[in-house]
Structure 1
Amino acid sequence: METNPVYNLVIEDKIIGYYSFFHESENTIKLDNLFVLPDFIGKGFGKILMNDFLNKLKNIDGQKVILNSEPNAETFYAKFGFVKIGQIETSIKDRYLPIMELNF
């Protein structure tokens, strides 16, 4: 977040969500953060952030987006066409993050 742009969603002067991304390789964009404050989850704000991100991809060179999903957010990303391609283990025993991909 210190080296890449961060796009904030602000309501009444309060940041309620944000996302950031970077080029992981020539053809791959990594969505490294997409976050909505817990009180605002389920109210369409994640969709606003994701649609803004996907809109930005139209002006960016690349062929696919990858991300490491919070397990509870896997369904959210699937609604936008992301598919699970693997998983990575976290520092918490028996907890895994889905690795998801979207080709564009």
Structure 2
Amino acid sequence: MALALGALGLAVAPTASAATPCPSGAVCIRETNGNILNKNIFYSYGNHNLSNVTGVRVLVNNQTGGAGFQICKGYNGTNCYPVQRGKGEYAPYDFTPINSVVLVR
């Protein structure tokens, strides 16, 4: 199953069994070692600024009800890529230029 992530070229990937699970209702950014730090678990709609999230990471959308997310180059949800609503893990992506994540209904 491949769901393109707009212009980013990301795709939904199968969940790795050794990786920390993303809680139901959240969007998470997985560290390179498979762990998810508490600071990178997002539940509330709106923008979330990132701190020290660089390099290749995996984003996981485990929201319910068809909720989506955007990743943004600017802080406070500015200069964003299109909304994505696919549930599951997305292919690894370089988060170095990404400074915020926005959760949308």
- Pick the structure with more strand per residue: 1
TM-score, normalisation: structure 2: 0.31
- Pick the structure with more helix per residue: 1
The higher-RCO structure (CA 8 Å, 6+ apart) is: 2
TM-score, normalisation: structure 1: 0.31
Q: Radius of gyration: which is bigger?
A: 1
